[in-house]
């Protein structure tokens, strides 16, 4: 059954479809659409929803930015993410002059910040549509409006400052036939002092467990083998819900177990866990379910207590070491990966030493290292002791060499093992090779046929090359 919002949006898709049909007659071909994603898994999943709606309205989905309907789904977590967008927009603007029927939309996290929508309004007036993260589900209505002749040449801006309804059952078009992300919650209430996400994604909201399980079941029926449960802090799933709805929710470990027990689901991943909230129950659920990936991404951010406190992370290095030791003990084959920020205000070389020390102790399979980026509106942006770029870069380089050495050693440690890989695609450089993803998230390249893509295969890990293996089927 559809709710009111869903019904309204389905009707809008039908109206858009008529307009796309007319366009297709005048072009003499089926119009194309492309959604370009910046940022995280959340945005990737949102892009699949946008592509699904465009496809339903009659567009052919392509990867080409020369498409008749182009969407940039933006990220604003760090400054370089912003810069990448404006470079691309400029290029599209000149191309659009030659083909005036083409439409250009910009959405996502960056559009929740007025400074960016203003910049587009002033400097990139050829953009047709801007919308934000909270009204993504109204895209069918927005699409219909943009395609209406009376809006020709005007920039439609529709950005909400918070979310109201959740429209769950709208079309989506998976990028991969055999794997899919599944949102379990939206937003974030953690307010880490450096982070813009709570401001652009809004308050934390958990989806109902039955909606999630129904979606997982539908995906399994549709041939999906691997799902990734998505949330900014999955460990707080189901906690902040209205009192009267409490009884309808379960906690994250229970939800994860139910998803893993869904017939047909060969592997379950989740992103992201918070070191403050990761529970013993979660560790046990992973241990008991062989099809929950042996991979826990647990962002450290810093190994210095002084910095963690100023970051408002809610844990100290002892807690982080305690949790990771417990994971090592209970699930010895689980790989740990992390995110680390270097150059946070007030950070000194001795703080970087502390971070490197945690990396040495925990031995991450991989770590994503970021230079601190000052985000306007976050508390840390106002801290007086911002770190000079050169100092931050030195710390970054020191950290990176340790991270890379350990990651290489951890990868090499599994050479000779036989593991199960999900074949994800044909290797672009060597068409005789398939690329498979192991439970611990590492990649293996092995001889195989395109027909095997989407299947689980047992592969021997013969050689380690940095972050991947060369292997063969056994």
Contacts with ligand F3S, residue ranges (CB under 6 A): 39-40, 42-43, 75-77, 109, 197, 200-201
User: Least Å distance between CB 383 and ligand SAH?
Assistant: 12
**Residue number with CB closer to ligand F3S (39 or 209):** 39
Q: Does 232 bind ligand SF4 (CB under 6 A)?
A: yes
What mask, x for binding ligand SAH by CB under 6 A, covers residues 358 to 397?
------------x-xx-x----------------------
| CB 116, CB 82: distance < 8 Å | yes
Q: Which does 339 bind (CB under 5 to 8 A by kind): ligand SAH, ligand SF4, ligand F3S, none?
A: ligand SAH
Q: Which does 78 bind (CB under 5 to 8 A by kind): ligand F3S, ligand SF4, ligand SAH, none?
A: ligand SAH
| CB 162, CB 202: distance < 8 Å | yes
Q: Out of 117, 133, 180, 301, point to the residue binding ligand SAH (CB under 6 A).
A: 301
62 backbone dihedrals φ, ψ, rounded to 5° = -130, 175
Q: Which residues of 419-440 are buried (b: 16+ CB within 10 A; e: fewer)?
A: bbbbbbebbeeeeebbbbbbbb
Question: 221 vs 216, 356, 372, 458, CA distance in Å?
Answer: 9, 45, 43, 24
User: Least Å distance between CB 261 and ligand SAH?
Assistant: 26
Q: Which residue's CB atom is positioned nearest to ligand F3S? A: 39
Do the strands 129-131 and 103-108 form a parallel or antiparallel pair, or are they unpaired? parallel
Q: Which does 403 bind (CB under 5 to 8 A by kind): ligand F3S, ligand SAH, ligand SF4, none?
A: none
Q: Which does 198 bind (CB under 5 to 8 A by kind): ligand SAH, ligand F3S, ligand SF4, none?
A: ligand SF4
Q: Does 137 bind ligand SAH (CB under 6 A)?
A: no
User: Least Å distance between CB 197 and ligand F3S?
Assistant: 5
User: Least Å distance between CB 78 and ligand SF4?
Assistant: 12
User: Measuring CA to CA, which residue among 247, 259, 261, 242 is closest to residue 182?
Assistant: 259
Sheet holding 267-271, edge to edge: 179-183, 226-230, 267-271
Q: Which does 200 bind (CB under 5 to 8 A by kind): ligand F3S, ligand SF4, ligand SAH, none?
A: ligand F3S
CA 280 to chain centre: 25
Q: Which residues, 238 to 297, sit near ligand SF4 by CB under 6 A?
A: 274
Q: Which residues, 191 to 230, sit near ligand SF4 by CB under 6 A?
A: 191-192, 195, 197-198
Question: 160 vs 6, 43, 163, CA distance in Å?
Answer: 18, 17, 7
**Residue number with CB closer to ligand SF4 (266 or 379):** 379
* Binding piece for ligand SF4, criterion CB under 6 A, among 125-133, 190-198, 253-261, 361-369: 190-198
Binding site for ligand SAH (CB under 6 A): 77-78, 194-195, 197, 232-233, 272, 274, 299, 301, 339, 341, 370, 372-373, 375
Binding site for ligand SF4 (CB under 6 A): 188, 190-192, 195, 197-198, 232-233, 274
């Amino acid at each position: 059954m559809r709710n009111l919002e869903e019904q309204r949006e389905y009707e809008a898709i039908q109206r858009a479809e008529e307009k796309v049909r007319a366009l297709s007659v005048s072009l003499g071909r089926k119009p194309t659409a492309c959604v370009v994603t910046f940022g995280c898994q959340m945005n990737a999943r949102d892009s699949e929803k946008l592509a699904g709606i465009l496809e339903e309205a009659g567009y052919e989905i392509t990867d080409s930015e020369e498409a008749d309907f182009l969407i940039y789904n933006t990220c604003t977590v760090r400054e370089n993410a912003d810069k990448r967008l404006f470079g691309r927009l400029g290029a599209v603007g000149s191309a659009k002059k030659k083909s005036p029927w083409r439409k250009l939309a910009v959405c996502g996290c960056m559009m929740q910040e007025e400074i960016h929508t203003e910049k587009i309004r002033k400097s990139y007036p050829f953009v047709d549509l801007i919308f934000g993260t909270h009204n993504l589900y109204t895209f069918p209505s927005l699409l219909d409006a943009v395609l209406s002749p009376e809006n020709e040449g005007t920039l439609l801006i529709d950005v909400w400052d918070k979310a109201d309804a959740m429209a769950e059952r709208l079309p989506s078009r998976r990028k991969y036939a055999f794997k899919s992300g599944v949102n379990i919650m939206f937003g974030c209430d953690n307010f880490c002092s450096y982070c813009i996400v709570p401001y652009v994604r809004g308050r934390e909201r958990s989806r109902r467990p039955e909606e999630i399980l129904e979606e997982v079941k539908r995906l399994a029926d549709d041939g999906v083998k691997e799902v990734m449960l998505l949330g900014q802090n999955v460990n707080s799933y189901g906690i902040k819900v209205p009192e009267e709805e409490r009884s309808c929710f379960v906690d994250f470990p229970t939800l994860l177990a139910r998803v893993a027990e869904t017939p047909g689901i060969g592997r379950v991943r989740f992103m992201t866990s918070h070191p403050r909230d990761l529970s013993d129950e979660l560790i046990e659920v992973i241990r008991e379910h062989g099809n929950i990936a042996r991979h826990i991404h647990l962002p450290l951010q810093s190994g210095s207590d002084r910095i963690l406190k100023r970051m408002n992370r809610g844990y100290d290095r002892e807690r982080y070491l305690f949790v990771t030791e417990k994971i090592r003990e209970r699930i010895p084959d689980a790989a740990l990966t992390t995110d680390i920020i270097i150059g946070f205000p007030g950070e000194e070389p001795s703080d970087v030493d502390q971070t490197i020390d945690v990396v040495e102790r925990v031995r991450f399979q991989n770590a994503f290292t970021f230079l601190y980026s000052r985000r306007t509106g976050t508390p840390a942006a106002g801290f007086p002791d911002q770190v000079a770029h050169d100092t931050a870069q030195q710390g970054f380089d020191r950290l990176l060499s340790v991270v890379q050495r350990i990651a290489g050693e951890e990868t090499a440690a599994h050479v000779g093992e036989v593991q199960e890989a999900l074949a994800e695609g044909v290797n672009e450089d060597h068409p005789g090779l398939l690329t498979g993803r192991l439970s611990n998230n590492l990649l293996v390249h092995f001889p195989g046929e395109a027909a095997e893509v989407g299947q689980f295969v047992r592969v021997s890990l013969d050689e380690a090359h940095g972050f991947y293996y060369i292997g063969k089927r056994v």
